[in-house]
């Protein structure tokens, strides 16, 4: 069993490394991890330090990405903002994935009225425009990093639930589930020991793409002024300053915009690459 799992992982890794776009995405994601983990290695200035003598300075040797409307170093703020974006992306996606797994597994495994009730609830949640729902909840609860992570996670699990349900409906009819029943395994053991591990490949792809989506939502909320609040740096609130000074401080819009673009693109490329590598139908490539 262990040897078979090792062989499957090696086969998956080989197909993933053949995908140049997926490798490029993995490089971007890995670089972001390093930046978020060691921000001081990439920025020598205090991101919250105000210097009125250097307000809206263009990129220079001392400030490679320029300064903002309070004289703060944009590079330092973007580097420290990367940690915020990664935290929001992973925590929010973790919450959404956990809820989606539980709902999808229960609905797909038990079926009948349980499936009907849970899926109708999923349909109701999908009827609400998620971004506007997030806006309403954040306006009610107040903007904070914890609230943002929780709200994004609690309003974005429906796709994961549908995906896991579909996988569970297929897997519960397989022979290995019948064999587990014949050996006296209970429902919970079958769900978490036999079905869940086999449903993880598509949910891993969904989670990778979900991180990109969560980062984009957090940046949008911060840009609108109801996300991460100053002086905590965020790519979104740097963009807000850029909007207010776009006529004579182009760097405040260009650099954080590029950071968001490259980050989201990197996650999407990695997610698509994982999907291609994990799909058994692509083994002949």
pLDDT for residue 103 is more than 90: yes
- Say whether 73 sits in a helix, a strand or coil: strand
CA pair distance 152, 139, nearest whole angstrom:
13
Using CA atoms, how far residue 205 sits from 50, 129, 190, 235, 274, in Å, is 42, 23, 23, 25, 6
Q: Supply the pTM of this predicted model.
A: 0.85
Over the stretch 168-185, which tens digit does the pLDDT of each residue have?
888 887 877 778 778 877
CA pair distance 236, 266, nearest whole angstrom:
18
Cα 61 from chain centroid (whole Å): 34
Task: Identify the CATH number of the domain defined by range 14-39+65-282.
Answer: 1.10.3720.10
- Confidence band, pLDDT 50/70/90 cuts, at residue 5: low
């Amino acid at each position: 069993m262990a040897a078979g799992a090792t062989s499957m992982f090696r086969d998956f890794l080989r197909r993933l490394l053949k995908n140049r776009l997926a490798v490029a995405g993995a490089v971007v994601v890995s670089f972001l991890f390093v930046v978020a983990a060691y921000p001081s290695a990439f920025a020598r200035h205090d991101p919250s330090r105000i210097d009125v003598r250097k307000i809206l300075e263009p990129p220079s040797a001392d400030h490679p990405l320029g300064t903002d409307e309070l004289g703060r170093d944009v590079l330092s703020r973007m580097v420290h903002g990367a940690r915020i974006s990664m935290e929001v992306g992973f925590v929010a996606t973790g919450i959404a994935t956990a809820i989606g797994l539980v709902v999808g597994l229960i609905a797909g495994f038990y079926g009948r009225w349980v499936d009907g009730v849970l899926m109708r609830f999923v349909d109701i949640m999908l009827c609400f425009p998620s971004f506007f729902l997030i806006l309403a909840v954040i306006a009610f609860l107040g903007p904070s990093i914890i609230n943002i992570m929780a709200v994004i996670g609690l309003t974005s699990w429906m796709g994961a639930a549908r995906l896991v349900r579909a996988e569970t409906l297929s897997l519960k009819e397989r022979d290995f589930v019948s064999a587990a029943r014949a050996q006296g395994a209970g429902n919970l053991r079958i769900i978490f020991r036999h079905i869940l591990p086999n449903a993880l490949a598509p949910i891993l792809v969904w989670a990778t793409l979900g991180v990109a989506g969560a980062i984009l939502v957090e940046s949008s909320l911060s840009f609108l002024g109801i996300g991460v609040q100053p002086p905590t740096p965020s790519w979104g609130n740097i963009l807000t300053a850029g909007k207010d000074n776009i006529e004579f401080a182009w760097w405040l819009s260009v650099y954080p915009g590029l950071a968001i673009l490259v980050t989201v693109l990197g996650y999407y490329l990695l997610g698509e690459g994982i999907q291609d590598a994990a799909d058994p139908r692509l083994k002949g490539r």
